[in-house]
């Protein structure tokens, strides 16, 4: 395992929480019940860890109408990804090589597409533009560095240049 790899970082991070836990146990009065101990540990854990760690992207609620595909819950998907509908639409449109337009909470793609294909594209969008390339958390936002757009992680501080979608 390389010293700088995200995996190593994760292991280190987890180790530090184990020590934190042990520390709290050592200082705790032995009369405390286990539940109370847990409560104490919970109080000293950083906010980030308490959050629900699993990042869930809603599945596309899509259907084909004539020659077009309509994603009914596009607003829900973009909200979970915390990126603009236009940017996500541009990505999907380029990936499936078909024009797309945002229509209220829906998106209309000028091509017949299977739901699985849409789900895959949304997932690959998240992997490139949302989920941290360093620590794997979704707490990132778009920032700017020396005139270049970057994606920056709020959890670990990691960042990477944001690719321009053509």
- What are 94's two structure tokens? 């380029």
Q: Report DSSP letters for 64-85, one per residue.
A: EETTEEEETTHHHHHHHHTS-H
For the bound state, the minimum distance from the C-beta of residue 38 to Zn ion, rounded and expressed in Å, comes to: 27
Residue 135 touching Zn ion (CB under 5 A): yes
Residue 153 touching Zn ion (CB under 5 A): yes
Taking the alpha carbons of 8, 11, 17, 18 in that order, is the dihedral positive or negative?
negative
Which CB, 89 or 134, lies closer to Zn ion? 134
Distance CA 93, CA 91 (A): 5
Detail the DSSP E strand segments found in 53-147.
Answer: 62-65, 68-71, 100-103, 106-109, 140-145
Residue 134 touching Zn ion (CB under 5 A): yes
For the bound state, the minimum distance from the C-beta of residue 138 to Zn ion, rounded and expressed in Å, comes to: 9
Which CB, 115 or 133, lies closer to Zn ion? 133
Residue 37 touching Zn ion (CB under 5 A): no
Residue 156 touching Zn ion (CB under 5 A): yes
Residues that bind Zn ion (CB under 5 A): 132, 134-135, 153, 155-156, 158
């Amino acid at each position: 395992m390389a010293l700088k790899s995200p995996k190593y970082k994760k292991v280190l991070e987890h180790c530090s929480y184990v020590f934190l836990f042990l520390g709290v146990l050592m200082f705790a009065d032995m009369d405390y019940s286990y539940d109370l101990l847990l409560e104490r540990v919970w109080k000293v854990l950083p906010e980030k860890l308490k959050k629900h760690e699993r990042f869930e992207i809603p599945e596309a609620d899509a259907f084909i109408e004539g020659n077009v595909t309509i994603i009914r819950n596009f607003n829900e998907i973009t909200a979970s990804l915390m990126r603009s509908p236009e940017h996500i639409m541009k990505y999907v449109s380029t990936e499936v090589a078909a024009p797309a337009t945002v229509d209220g909470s829906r998106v209309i793609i000028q091509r017949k597409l299977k739901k699985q294909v849409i789900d895959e594209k949304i997932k690959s969008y998240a992997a490139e533009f949302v989920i941290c390339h360093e620590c794997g958390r979704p707490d990132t936002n778009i920032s700017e560095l020396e005139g270049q757009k970057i994606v920056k992680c709020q959890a670990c501080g990691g960042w990477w240049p944001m690719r321009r979608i053509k």
